[in-house]
């Protein structure tokens, strides 16, 4: 495995700035999610905010695997059975939907990457529990992102939180190191034993992103080459923060101004 890049204080400041931009846009786009709004309208709204912030989307034109065109949207918007990498289009948000928005920006040479899942008038207690569990899994995982712990402690925190409530975690997609590039080493699995993997060190910056399913953990990719859906078409939740590892604990880099008050 290639080496995990440690960031010095100047680089961490760059990550803080980029994280703040990504988080503010995440919260602003979340506020626009409502019945009747298309995913394309949300994506274009995000595009305008990204531009206004002096940043650019880290997602658009991201190279695809062999034979797949580059990613066509500014954000990833994934509704209900869509897990991650949803492509913006004509799909209209409906009452009862859950909508995951993933915002990745490049700002002054650094990446901010974060996601949240918004419930649109959801009343089904199973789906509410699914969303809350994914959020709790992320919180528990972040609590493990402390210097001296091991990477597997983060993975295990996600898996054990979800398993305890009867939900499954996606195995085919992972979190990642983040910095000047969106995807740096290491890969961060959402499952696995604690106490394994590289030791976490001061200055590591990680994008931790639980993807949690109501039904089976199995996923497939649609014919657009990007949109990942659950195989059983049951709902899936995606939440993500970029964090910095410190001696005393993790620092969340992707909190919006209104979330820090």
Question: Site residues (CB under 5 A) for Mg ion?
Answer: 113, 207
| Smallest gap from residue 209 Cβ to Mg ion (A) | 5
**Is the Cβ of residue 152 or residue 210 nearer to Mg ion in the bound state?**
210
Q: Choose between 127 and 151: whose C-beta lies nearer to Mg ion.
A: 151
Nearer to Mg ion, 130 or 182 (CB): 182
Comparing CB distances to Mg ion, the nearer of 153 and 209 is 209
CB of 129 to Mg ion, least distance (A): 24
**d(C-alpha 3, C-alpha 170), whole Å:** 25
**Which residue, 127 or 200, has its beta carbon nearer to Mg ion?**
200
State residue 30 phi and psi, 5-degree precision.
-55, -40
> Is 162 or 211 the residue whose CB approaches Mg ion more closely?
211
Residue 175 CB, shortest distance to Mg ion, in Å, is 6
Burial 184-193 (b: 16+ CB within 10 A, else e): bebebbbbbe
Smallest gap from residue 240 Cβ to Mg ion (A): 5
Distance set, CA 51 to CA 70, 83, 114, 120, 181 (Å): 20, 26, 17, 27, 19
- Whether the bond between 186 and the residue before it is cis, its omega within 30 degrees of 0, is yes
- The H or E element spanning position 226 is none
Sequence length of the chain is: 261
According to DSSP, residue 92 is labeled B
Element (H, E) at 220: strand 219-221
Dist. CA 123–CA 130, nearest whole Å:
12
175: tokens are 């979190």
- As measured in angstroms, the least distance from the Cβ of 2 to Mg ion is 18
What is the closest distance, in whole angstroms, from the C-beta atom of residue 84 to Mg ion in the complex? 9
**Distance between CA atoms of residues 224 and 67, nearest Å:** 11
């Amino acid at each position: 495995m290639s080496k995990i890049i440690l960031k010095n204080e100047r680089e961490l400041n760059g990550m803080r700035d980029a994280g703040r931009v990504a988080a503010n846009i995440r919260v602003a786009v979340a506020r626009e999610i409502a019945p009747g709004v298309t995913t394309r309208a949300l994506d274009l709204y995000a595009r305008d905010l990204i531009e206004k912030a002096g940043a650019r989307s880290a997602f658009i034109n991201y190279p695809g695997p062999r034979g797949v065109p580059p990613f066509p949207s500014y954000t990833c918007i994934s509704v209900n059975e869509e897990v991650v990498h949803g492509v913006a289009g004509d799909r209209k948000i409906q009452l009862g939907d859950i909508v995951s928005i993933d915002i990745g920006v490049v700002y002054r040479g650094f990446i901010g990457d974060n996601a949240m899942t918004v419930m649109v008038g959801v009343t089904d207690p199973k789906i509410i529990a699914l969303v809350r569990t994914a959020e709790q899994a992320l919180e528990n995982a972040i609590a493990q992102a402390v210097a001296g712990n091991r990477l597997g402690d983060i993975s295990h925190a996600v898996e054990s939180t979800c398993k305890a409530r009867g939900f499954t975690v996606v195995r085919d997609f992972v979190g990642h190191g983040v910095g000047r590039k969106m995807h740096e080493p290491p890969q961060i699995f959402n499952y696995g034993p604690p106490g394994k993997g590289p030791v976490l060190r001061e200055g590591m910056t990680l994008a931790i992103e639980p993807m949690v399913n109501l039904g089976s953990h199995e996923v497939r990719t649609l014919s657009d080459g990007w949109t990942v859906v659950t195989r059983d078409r049951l709902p899936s939740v995606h939440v993500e923060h970029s964090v910095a590892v410190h001696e005393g604990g993790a620092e969340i880099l992707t909190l919006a101004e209104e979330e820090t008050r």
